[in-house]
Every structure is written in structure tokens, then in C-alpha cells.
Amino acid sequence: MWLLGDAGAYPVYDFTWAGLPSTFRAGPDEVRRVFTTLHDRLTEDGCEVAVIEVADGIFQQETSELVTDPVFAERVDAVVFAAYDALGAAAGVEWLGQHDLAPLALSGVMSSSPLATREAEAATGCEVWGLSYLEDPAVALELCSRLRTGRRTGTPPAPTPEPDRELALARHSAPDAEQGRPS
């Protein structure tokens, strides 16, 4: 949460704000409650666009149950799927498509590799958005505008990731081991 707040996100909440130390083995009703509680809170705070991270992989039980819950589909306008590599991206896109959650784009560790990016784009038909693309304020404004109006097309094409720049951005955002805070 510190990293998100330090990057300018406001407000920032996680499952602890909804009263849980973890969602592991919380059960589908409790995970849904946490999701709706946090989503409702963001709405009450006046957020027009919310970025919600659903972690631990789509095959993890609590995550799978949440993203296939009709409440999730009612409240989420777009999905950006983060993957480690092209194979994981292809499997994730296939699974999401089977559940009517085709991703708007892909991101994640693979975006730091031009080869993995090309492989993932070829295998899935989805663009891969790297850190250098996602940090561009013009892109953020365009995405917010589109999501506010319910459109999911017309995003400017993502540039080919630059491995050195992606690595530098990733290192900059990595937590400082001594303080547990971004360096």
C-alpha cells in the first residue's frame, strides 16, 4: 500500500481495511464482502476510476471464486492481466475468456522482455503494457476517460518495451530491504 500511495494513488485500501489480515481461506462470501466493502468505500470517496489488484493468480481458490462471481463482473469495467511470461499470459487470457473477462491488455514481468512481449501478443492477441507505457500521464488520462464512458477500444498502441528502462523502473519501485519502503 505504501508503494501505491507514494506513487500518487489516493485513496488506497487493502483487505485489512475491511477487517481481514489475509483473504487466504476466507471463503467466497467473505472475499465478496471484502471486495464490495472496498469498492463501495472507493465510490463513497468519490473515485470515478478505481484500480483494484486481485492477487495470487487466477487459479488460487479465493481469487478464482471472486473473479467468477457475478458481483465482480457488475463492478469491474476492464481487466489488465499481469503475467510472468508468455505461457502464463496465454493460459490466463484463455481462462479469463472462458469466464467472459477478456482482458483489455497484459502486463507484468514479461513486459521487461521484448521477446516475451512479442510471444504474448502473438499468442493472445492482446497488447502488453510495460511500466514505461503505464507511467505516461497521457495514457492514464485516456484510460480513465474511456473507462468513465464504458469504452474499451481506442487506446494508443503501447510502445515496444525498453528492457533497460523497464528494469530501472522496477528497481526504483522495489521495496528497500532495510525499511520495507520503496527506495
Q: What is the pLDDT of residues 27-62, one digit of tens each?
A: 889 999 999 999 999 989 988 788 888 877 888 888
- pLDDT bin (cut points 50, 70, 90) of residue 160 is low
Q: Which residue has the higher pLDDT, 153 or 160?
A: 160
Three cell numbers written together for 67: 473473479
Is there a contact between 128 and 105 (Cβ–Cβ < 8 Å)?
A: yes
Predicted pLDDT at 123: 96
**Neighbour count for residue 64 (Cβ, 10 Å):** 17
Closest to 99 in 3D by CA, of 151, 129, 33, 54: 54
Model pLDDT, residue 183: 38
Tell me how far apart the terminal alpha carbons of the chain are, to the nearest angstrom: 14
